[in-house]
Amino acid sequence: MTGWRRRIWLGGCVLVLTFLVTVPFLLMAGVNPLAAYAQFLIVPLTSRFGLLEVAVASIPLLFTGAAVALAFRAGYWNIGAEGQLLLGAVAAAGIGARVSNLAPPLAVLLVLGGGVLAGAAWGLLPALLRVRFHIDEVVTTLLLNPVALLLVEGLLNGPWRDPVTRFPESPRIAVSAELPAVVAGSRLHAGFLIGLAVLAVTGFVLTRTPAGVKLRAVGLGPDAARFAGIDVARTLIAAALISGAIAGLGGAGEVAGIQYRLTGGLSAGFGYTGIVVATLGGLTMGGVALVALLLGDLTVGASSAGRALGIPSQAGDIVQAAVLLVTVAMLAVNRYGRRRRPRAVAVAGAGL
Amino acid sequence: MQESGGGPAGLVELRGITKRFGGLVANDAIDLTLAAGEVHGVLGENGAGKTTLMRILYGLTSPDAGQVLVDGRALAIRSPRDAIAAGIGMVTQHFALVTPMTVSENLLLGRPEGLTIDLKAARRRVEEAADRFGIRVRPEAAVADLSVGEQQRVEILKALAGDCRVLILDEPTAVLVPQEVKALFETLRRLTADGMAVAFISHKLSEVLAITQRVTVLRRGRVVGAVQTARTDERELATLMVGRPAQAAERPRGSPGPAVLEVVGLDASGRQGLPALRGVSFSVASGEILGVAGVSGNGQTELAEVLSGMRRPNAGSVEVAGRSVAGLGPRQMMAVGVGRIAEDRHAAVVLDLSVAYNLVLEHLDEFRRGPLLDEARIRANAEELIERFGILARPDDPVRTLSGGNLQKVILARVLSRGPAVLVVSQPTRGLDVGATDYVRGELVAQAARGAGIVLISEDLDELLMLADRILVFFEGRVVGNLATASADPEQLGLLMARGTAA
């Protein structure tokens, strides 16, 4: 498909441009850029501990990447995975602290289910505004992200504040609500497997079911989809809700698998990075998995590069930010290119 | 019959013009001479290379090989600026007018002279043109308020500014009603009497015969004939153009059956919320083709949208086989047996999806096994329809890669394979070449013979006269004429289309 080549081309551009953009900063920090990238990308993969940590770091990105990719496939530009993930975490922390008397499978299911519902609920309003009033979801989903963060901080500084330490942290969740470890003695929890399962199911639905083809048709040609009898509004709302649900599940996974409580720093911009993951991954679920692991690699590598090369650990953040900005820029270029394609038939009648 | 250099002295001469777009040879060593005082027809099917050739002459496209001679001297025309300096003007199919501005202002924009704006001079030019060439248009009128024909006159005025000696008109009659075509021809006669050369691009034989002195016929990028108009006829030109005698889809017109579509008092709004359909009533019988004529923008588009379930009517009833369907969506419209061939082909298919998926897009839920898509059956369905409708494509090709004719065949296959009771067809052959046009028309006739009731909306009067049993004329959202095709003549239809009354 022509779209395929275009995606690979865009992905390649992003990588090359990111490298070029970050070289001056790495030179300013006094390190050889190639050595820095070796630390960022290769060193984490050379040890068992490093590999497990890479997987851990990729978990939230698997969810947000899948969430964003699914929405984008439907032509629904959900930039709100960050807020949806936070709401999922809020629900998980709230439920998790109250299920100590339930057996583990049920408690975990309740926590994750709460995350799913909360994430979907946070995505509902922008979807309705888009479908009913044609209000651009890019703006509304984006603007709801800081609202979600304020909600988290309000809870942590208000009702959920730790009564003893006065730290802005929610009460620890019940042990029965924790996600089990995949590899004993490591931080790698079942969220990783759930994330991969979500990717597999989403990918399967998109390519193998009528609903998936309808969703793609709506994204590729909303007019044609409507003409073919596909309910575009319903499809968009469904895509938005499922996208929010997946992001919310990711938030619940972070609470139940790693943090065990809600903190102000629960998300290191996972929702925004999810946009990078989805876009770089070519909006395919396999691509999302690869890019999530790549960025997990980068995250782990950047934190160790600080120690190994004596450069500020923010260098990793710079690379991440550069990837994000370059991706957004390429996305804009891509959209601009699409918009400018002339519509021959529309012009013919324009004289009237 | 074949002439080489025997014509009048050449003002502009094209020699061996060749232009390739990738693997496609759009122009293959084309020779063409435009003489002072003649209207020279450039005739050919869509894709024959007419427009490319003229774009090269006007500097919009650069040739891969060949020469342009003006007054016998070779000239490199690299941009329209060069062309204008050489006295060549062009009116393309898409007007480049600033519509909120007046006619005079638009003329000034085309050719700003000096530092100050001289609206009076522009106005004088408009008045002069009216006297000399019979181009009548009010200099103070805002372009947005003008009809398409009048806007075209403004474009011609723009092209004539300065010392234009060669005027290129790319399909100038495509947007005009018959009366406007007459006025245009009158103008062209006066321009050539004045010593100008006019290149008249068209694929309409009757017009080429009516206005030109010589005709160059292109087929697949080559000159296949250069003839004196007086010494040729429609049949020969058609044969040259198509490579075989064109045949009309004649059909036996039997007595129609029971009504399958009944529309009463239909009101609907258009894109901007203004009334587009006002009290439209008609009925279509089984086996009948009802033509809908009108200048574009008089409610035909909205009628098609209402009947397709894409637009909700404000009032009135629509019945399909006795069942009330007004206000239903596209899915339900299809379910009651309405097949839709949309005006904008590209908006009826998902361009980035494959041929196979587009063929089942309207009925995805019938092509599944349990909850999953039945890929094998989708493929088999595609292969069968590709075979039956002669679509030149593979099932996995994205629809985006198909030519206009094949795209239309995909849409036809999708609709006709369902055996619809009612067909709503908009501009089914617009932009198609003669072969594809014949095919589409033949299919429509076959559908009527099968017993479908067909609403055929078309801006091509010849098509309506050829296919329709009756013709409705739309004007400002109303039905202003309902004529049996046998007793309708183009003149009368043109008046109804242009003014809403035949009086």
- Nearest chain B Cα distance for residue A239, angstroms: 18
pLDDT in tens, A208-249: 999 999 999 999 989 899 999 999 999 999 999 999 999 999
Residue B453: beta bridge partners?
B422
Average pLDDT of B185-200?
92
pLDDT band at B242 (very low <50, low <70, confident <90, very high): low
Q: Which residue of B has its CA nearest to A205?
A: B372
Question: What mean pLDDT is predicted for residues B248-270?
Answer: 80
Residue B337 pLDDT exceeds 90: yes
Q: What are the distances in angstroms from CA B70 to CA B15, B60, B67, B200, B480?
A: 11, 17, 10, 18, 50
Query: Rounded to the nearest 10 degrees, how much is the dihedral formed by the CA atoms of B102, B118, B81, B132?
Result: 70
pLDDT of residue A196: 97
Mean pLDDT of chain B: 86
Burial call A201-233: b when 16+ CB within 10 Å, e when fewer: ebbebbeebbbbbbbbbbbbbbbbbbbbbbbbe
Q: Looking at residue B142, what is its pLDDT?
A: 87
Give the DSSP per-residue string, A159-217.
TTS-TTT--SBPPPPPGGGSPPBSSTTSS-BTHHHHHHHHHHHHHHHHHHSHHHHHHHH
Residue A42 has pLDDT above 50, yes or no: yes
CATH for B10-242 is: 3.40.50.300
Q: SS3 for B183-238, per residue?
A: HHHHHHHHHHHCCCEEEEEECCHHHHHHHCCEEEEEECCEEEEEEEHHHCCHHHHH
Instruction: Search chain A and give the residue with CA nearest B144.
Output: A352
Query: Is the pLDDT at B34 greater than 60, yes or no?
Result: yes
pLDDT at A331: 72
Cβ burial of A186 (10 Å; 0-12, 13-18, 19+) is middle
Say which CATH superfamily domain B248-337+419-503 falls into: P-loop containing nucleotide triphosphate hydrolases (3.40.50.300)
pLDDT reported for residue B246: 46
Q: Which residue of B has its CA nearest to A218?
A: B350
Which CATH code is given to the segment(s) A2-337? 1.10.3470
pLDDT at B46: 65
| Residue in A210, A230, A347 nearest the CB of B368 | A210
* CB within 8 Å of A275: residues ≥ 6 apart: A64, A68, A79, A81, A324, A327, A328
- DSSP letters, B312-366, are --SEEEEEETTEE-TT--HHHHHHTTEEEE-SSGGGTS-TTSBHHHHHHGGGGGG
DSSP for A249-313, please give it: HHHHHHIIIIISS-BTTS-SSHHHHHHHHHHHTTT-HHHHHHHHHHHHHHHHHHHHHHHHH---T
Tokens of B161: 């500014």
Q: How far is CA A268 from CA A58, A84, A121, B252, B452, in A?
A: 12, 14, 22, 74, 62
What pLDDT sits at residue B7?
A: 43
For residues B332-359, give the mean pLDDT. 92
And the tokens for A313? 């650990």
Per-residue pLDDT for B273 more than 80? no
- Maximum distance among all Cα pairs of chain B, rounded to whole angstroms: 75
Q: Do domains B10-242 and B248-337+419-503 have the same CATH topology?
A: yes
Q: What is the pLDDT of residues B380-433, one digit of tens each?
A: 999 999 999 988 889 998 998 887 888 999 999 999 999 999 999 999 987 777
CB contacts under 8 A, B 41-60 vs A, are: none
**What confidence score (pLDDT) does residue A328 get?**
75
Which residue of chain A comes nearest to B145, CA vs CA?
A: A352
pLDDT at B446 over 70: yes
* pLDDT, position B243: 65
Nearest 5°: the CA angle B376, B379, B385 is 140
Instruction: Report percent pLDDT > 90 for chain B.
Output: 44
pTM for the structure as a whole: 0.71
Q: How far is A348 from chain B (nearest CA, A)?
A: 7
Nearest to B83 by CA among B59, B66, B62: B59
Q: Domain map of chain B by residue range?
A: 10-242, 248-337+419-503, 355-418
Mean pLDDT of B329-352: 91
pLDDT at A132 over 80: yes
A107: pLDDT strictly greater than 60: yes
What confidence score (pLDDT) does residue A321 get? 82
Q: Which residues pair with B280 in a beta bridge?
A: B266
Contact A229 B330 (CB under 8 A): yes
B340 vs A: CB within 8 A:
yes
Do the chains contact at B330 and A221, CB–CB below 8 Å? no
Does the pLDDT at position A2 exceed 60? Answer: no
Which of A121-135, A317-331, B72-86 shows the lowest per-residue confidence on average (mean pLDDT)?
A317-331
Alpha-carbon distance of A281 to A31, in angstroms, equals 29
Q: Which SS3 state, helix, strand or coil, does residue B473 take?
A: strand
State which amino acid sits at residue A6. R
pLDDT given at position B22: 66
pLDDT band at B253 (very low <50, low <70, confident <90, very high): low
Does the distance separating the beta carbons of B361 and A351 come in below 8 Å? no
pLDDT tens, position by position, A154-173: 999 989 988 888 889 999 99
Instruction: Give buried/exposed letters for A150-169 (b at 16+ CB in 10 A, else e).
Output: ebbeebbeeebbeeeeeebb
Distance CA A112, CA A323 (A): 30
B347–A224: do the CB atoms touch at under 8 Å? yes
pLDDT of residue B6: 41
Q: Which residues pair with B369 in a beta bridge?
A: B372
Subunit contact A210:B346, Cβ cutoff 8 A: no
Structure tokens that stand for B397 in this block: 């090709």
Q: How far is A282 from chain B (nearest CA, A)?
A: 15
Residues 190-249 of A with CB under 8 A from B: 208-210, 213-214, 216-217, 220-221, 223-231
Strands ordered across the beta sheet of B315-320: B275-285, B259-269, B315-320, B323-324
Could you read off the pLDDT of B147-178 as tens digits, one per residue?
778 888 888 888 887 778 999 998 888 777 77
Rounded to whole angstroms, how far apart are CA atoms B436 and B420?
Answer: 22
Which of B297, B334, B375 is opposite residue A229, by nearest beta carbon? B334
One-letter amino acid of A213 = V
Residue B331, min C-alpha distance to chain A (Å): 4
Q: Summarize pLDDT for B79-112 with one digit per residue, the tens.
A: 888 898 899 999 987 788 888 888 888 887 766 5
* Contact flag A227-B398 (C-beta cutoff 8 Å): no
A56: closest CA of chain B, how far (Å):
33
**Yes or no, beta carbons of A220 and B352 under 8 Å apart:** yes
The pLDDT mean for chain A works out to: 88
Q: Does A318 touch chain B (CB under 8 A)?
A: no
Residue of B nearest to A345 (CA): B344
Task: Flag whether residue A103 sits within 8 Å of chain B, measured between CB atoms.
Answer: no
- Does B371 contact A227 at a Cβ distance shorter than 8 Å? no
What's the pLDDT band for B1 if we cut at 50, 70, 90?
Answer: very low
Q: Which of A216, A223, A227 to mutate to test the interface with B (most CBs of B within 10 A)?
A: A227
Residue B4's pLDDT band (cuts 50, 70, 90): very low
Give the residue from chain A lying closest to B97, CA to CA.
Answer: A351
The answer to whether the beta carbons of residues A221 and A214 sit under 8 Å apart is no
Chain A nearest-CA residue for B354: A1
The residue length of chain A stands at 352
At B494, the amino acid letter reads G
Q: Given an 8 Å threshold on Cβ–Cβ distance, is A352 in contact with B329?
A: no
pLDDT reading at A314 higher than 90: no
Q: How many CB pairs under 8 A join A and B?
A: 99
Q: Which of B297, B334, B361 has its CB closest to that of A352?
A: B297
Instruction: Provide the pLDDT confidence category of residue B15 given band limits of 50, 70 and 90.
Output: very high
Q: Which residue of B has its CA nearest to A207?
A: B373
Q: How many angstroms away from the CA of A250 is the closest CA of chain B?
A: 27
CB B324 within 8 A of CB B316: no
Q: pLDDT category, B10, cuts 50, 70, 90?
A: confident
CA-CA distance, A295 to A65, in Å (whole number)? 11
Count of Cβ atoms closer than 10 Å to residue B113 Cβ: 12
Of A162, A194, A150, nearest to A97 (Cα)?
A162
Question: Model confidence at B3, in pLDDT bands (50, 70, 90)?
Answer: very low
Tell me what percent of the residues of chain B surpass a pLDDT of 70: 92
Residue B122: the pLDDT is: 80
Mean pLDDT, residues B292-301: 84
Residue B463 Cα distances to A22, B296, B353, B466, B494, angstroms: 63, 15, 32, 5, 14
Interface of B with A in 362-401 (CB under 8 A): 362, 364-365, 367-368, 371-373, 375, 398, 400-401
| pLDDT score at A341 | 39
Ranges A321-325, A340-344, B151-155, B373-377: which has the least confidence: A340-344
Is the confidence at residue B247, as pLDDT, over 50? no
